[in-house]
Amino acid sequence: MTTTAGPAAPTDEVRDLVARRVPGHTLEAPFYTSEAVYEADLSAVWSRTWLFVAHEAEVREPGDFVTVDVGPSSVIVLRDDDGVVRGLRNVCRHRGARVLTEREGSVGNLVCGYHRWTYAVDGSLLHAGDQAPDFDKGCWSLRQVHVRLVAGLVFVCLAADPPDDVDDLVATVSPYLLPHALHRTKVAAQVDLVEEANWKLVMENNRECYHCEGSHPELTCTFFPTWGIAPDRVPPRLRVAHERYLAAEAALERTCDERGLPYAEVEALEAERRTAFRVQREALDGAGESYTTDGSLAVRRLLGDLDVPRLGRASVHTQPNGWYHALSDHVVTFSVLPLGPTRTLVRTTWLVHEDAVEGEDYDVDALTLVWRVTNEQDSALVARAQAGVTDPGYVPGPYAPSERQVETFTAWYVARMQEHLAP
């Protein structure tokens, strides 16, 4: 059988760049600007690691589907007739047309609109008109994409052999998220924001709060601005916030202990892990209940069987493309998807209890306010960084101590590139 040409071979340029990387400093410019590096990223990261792309709540019934673009690849996430969430390449096996052109919907079978080739929801080819007697339908099923579920979050991997350390992610993170019962949620809102920056700048921006002060007035009503700063390095002007943080943490731990909820920080971000992640339950500032401008609940109906609003945020981060906050009243998730060397999609989804009633239990504008404006503020910041690193006057600079997780992200990324480039 014919095979497609693979992606462009990693060029010597990319190899040299990776070899030259100096820990503790930002990456060199081509990592954020060059087409060759972007192609290598698609191979090394986006085609090999587990990616967060959707929620089970988006495909509740058999036949429900969403289509997600991971760079140039379109993936169909759908629930099959046995209730299993599957991933399929959204490419007809006949002449390559897109099978589904909608962003979401519900189908009985999958019918390509070009020549009516018809596939079952498990991807098998049911019908292709006008074929010779020796045509073997069994050879032309839609190509499968691996799927893994983490307490209601849908991860896919485009590789033939996905990294199996995803088991650690499932085992470790699930206990933090399960009390929020994502299986019994619905999507209250979903916002796609196109940021004018390389995907790595988007991720790096998310891994530090060094920029929060002055940039994120709405977020820092509840998000402690000391995030990422070692306790012994908190600057004098943040001392008061830090005291509040310590008190709120102590209260949160008592609440969690009473209910058996895990809250400890688990950091599994080592560069050698292909499925790297971090999880921790942390207190919020203000009323401490939710992401609102005073910290009080955004949704009257609590998630799952939770019986107390003040549970802070169970925050998860997964390399390379997701972060998540589970609160007592809603879950907000962020999926980062590359659109090109200097354009990136950030998809933000707010989930609430499936029985919560809009206009009664919650107001969408109020629910989404904090992260809508925070995302827009971040979008302006990363565009400013993208403009600067594109300048021939740019040279890599030093990370501050509170940017430790940015360094961790960068080191993880470089390890993936090294694996990809290894002979």
Of residues 147-186, which lie at the interface with a second copy (CB under 8 A)? 158
**Contact flag: residue 146 with a second copy (CB under 8 A):** no
- 92 contributes a contact to a second copy by CB under 8 A: yes
Residues of this chain, 259-288, that bind a second copy according to CB under 8 A: none
Find the shortest distance in angstroms from Cβ 356 to a second copy: 37
Closest approach of Cβ 390 to a second copy, in Å? 6
Closer residue to a second copy (CB): 370 or 382: 382
Residues in 351-410 that interact with a second copy by CB under 8 A: 381, 384-385, 387-398, 400-402
Q: Which listed residue (60, 62, 63, 91) binds a second copy by CB under 8 A? A: 91
# residues contacting a second copy (CB under 8 A) = 75
Q: Which position among 15, 60, 62, 94 is part of the footprint of a second copy (CB under 8 A)?
A: 94
3 binds a second copy (CB under 8 A): yes
Helix axes 199-206, 404-421, angle to 10 degrees: 150
Q: In whole angstroms, how close is the CB of 133 to a second copy at the nearest point?
A: 10
Q: Is 108 in the site for a second copy (CB under 8 A)?
A: no
Per-residue contact track with a second copy, 219 to 248, x per CB under 8 A?
Answer: ----------x---x-x-------------
- Please give the C-alpha separations between residue 146 and each of 48, 87, 98, 99, in angstroms, as whole numbers: 11, 6, 19, 19
Give the span between the Cα atoms of 67 and 92, in whole angstroms. 14
Q: Is 214 in the site for a second copy (CB under 8 A)?
A: yes
| Closest CB 22 distance from a second copy, rounded Å | 4
Nearer to a second copy, 231 or 398 (CB): 398
For residue 401, the minimal CB distance to a second copy (Å) is 6
| Residues in region 187-206 near a second copy by CB under 8 A | 204
Q: Applying CB under 8 A, which part among 132-140, 251-259, 263-271, 364-372 lies near a second copy?
A: 132-140
- Tell me if 83 contacts a second copy by CB under 8 A: no
Binding test (CB under 8 A) with a second copy, winner from 103, 127, 143, 259: 143
User: Which of 146, 186, 211, 404: binder of a second copy (CB under 8 A)?
Assistant: 211
Residue number, 179 or 341, with CB nearest to a second copy: 341
Residue 129 sits in the site that holds a second copy (CB under 8 A) = yes
**Distance in Å from the first CA to the final CA of the chain:** 26
Check residue 107 for interaction with a second copy (CB under 8 A): no
Under the binding rule (CB under 8 A), the answer on residue 29 touching a second copy is yes
